[in-house]
Amino acid sequence: MRVAVLHDYLNQLGGAERVLKSILDIFPGADVYTLLYDEQKTCGIFRGMVKETSFLDRNWIRNRHRAFIPLAPLATRLMRSREKYDLVVSSSAGYAKGIPVDAPCHISYCHTPLRYAWEIEYLKNLPLRPSPLGNTILRPAAWMVARWLRKWDKKAAGRVNVFIANSRFIADKIRAYYGRDAEVVYPPVREDDFYFEPREKQDDYYLMVGRLLYYKCFDVGISAFSAMGKKLVIIGRGPEEEKLKKIANPAFVRFISGVSDSKLRKYYTGARALIFPQVEDFGLVAAEAQMCGLPVLAFQTGGGSEIVENGKTGLLFSEQTPSAIIGAVREFESKKFDRHYIAQYAKKFSEDRFRKELTAAMRKAGAEV
């Protein structure tokens, strides 16, 4: 069976790319189509698998691809392949599902509908961020771009035969935006890399992990821990890095980047808890942390609420504010959490479970997997 796998961008190694690798393990030999590909930044994991990229795949674009979001629909349309496939699987948070690859069945594993089209606040993360000029010219243009992207995204969704969502939170969005139902299959955590290792005592720090993007609320965490005078370790890099470092008190907040999975596991194992204040589509970081037995203090909206068993594997808080995080930390420190139970609970996010549920969902959709 000839299979094509579509993915938005391969210029970083985050949660979506880890899911893509698990999909490709199910379909060895599949051809990968993606708008951008950076072999170095994806650690060579997809070497030899990428069949075609778009005209946006240029060195000077890869690190600032968000500035070219209005061109992404055109880039997908021009990637028209002459190859014939038996099955197309897209791993998409936006554009990949619109790449025109011919097959009788297209199954989309949806991380989220296109954020820039449906949730206008994500446009704040574009290079069009408001300034004295942006407030009068660029901001209205961004709203027009969003309306146009929304029309494109609905049309691209029409190319998909079956949607599979990465959380109930995203299944609800698929229903609201596209009028389509979606089965839920949670993303996988690699148990070989993230596993429970008992310790007599945890170190005296809390942890935040992820790409340093505005919507992940690292600034809220920094404010909370500076106010409490407690140690916070932030692991990640991204466009908000310099801004965050300026507001962080180095006596309490430490930034780390370039961490391997084995070292990240050690940070998970040593921390008191993971702080997770953002609204995520799923939140693979939180699932990884729990696989290592780490309690998670998460905002109650979004995928995080589907990962945390409130009161047993962590705590949920109701506002994305420093005071809400402070309250959650104080409550956490007044309770005891069984790290072995947390790690066992997190096995529902295993790779083996993902493969079984995904292939079952695909067979249910009529694919010969």
CATH 3.40.50.2000 occupies which residues in the chain? 206-349
pLDDT at 93: 95
Q: Which residues contact 158 (CB under 8 A, 6 or more apart)?
A: none
Rounded Cα distance between 337 and 30, Å, is 43
Give the tens place of pLDDT for each residue, 229-259. 999 999 999 889 999 999 999 999 999 998 9
* Separation of first and last alpha carbons in the chain: 9
Burial tier of 29 (Cβ tally within 10 Å: 0-12, 13-18, 19+): exposed
* pLDDT at 128 > cutoff 60: no
Query: Would the pTM count as exceeding 0.75?
Result: yes
- How far apart are alpha carbons 272 and 349 in whole angstroms? 22
Spell out the CATH class of 206-349. alpha beta
Fold entry, domain 3-188+351-364? Rossmann fold (3.40.50)
- Residue 258 · residue 238 · CB < 8 Å: no
* Predicted confidence (pLDDT) at residue 132 exceeds the cutoff of 50: no
pLDDT at 12: 86
In this prediction, residue 144 carries a pLDDT of: 82
For residue 123, the model assigns a pLDDT of 64
Sheet of 31-37, strand order? 50-52, 31-37, 3-10, 87-92, 106-110, 162-165, 182-184
Q: What is the pLDDT of residues 134-191, one digit of tens each?
A: 444 445 677 788 889 999 999 999 999 999 999 999 999 999 999 999 999 999 999 9
pLDDT at 133 over 50: no
pLDDT of residue 137: 47
341: pLDDT strictly greater than 90: yes
Share of the chain above pLDDT 90, in %: 80
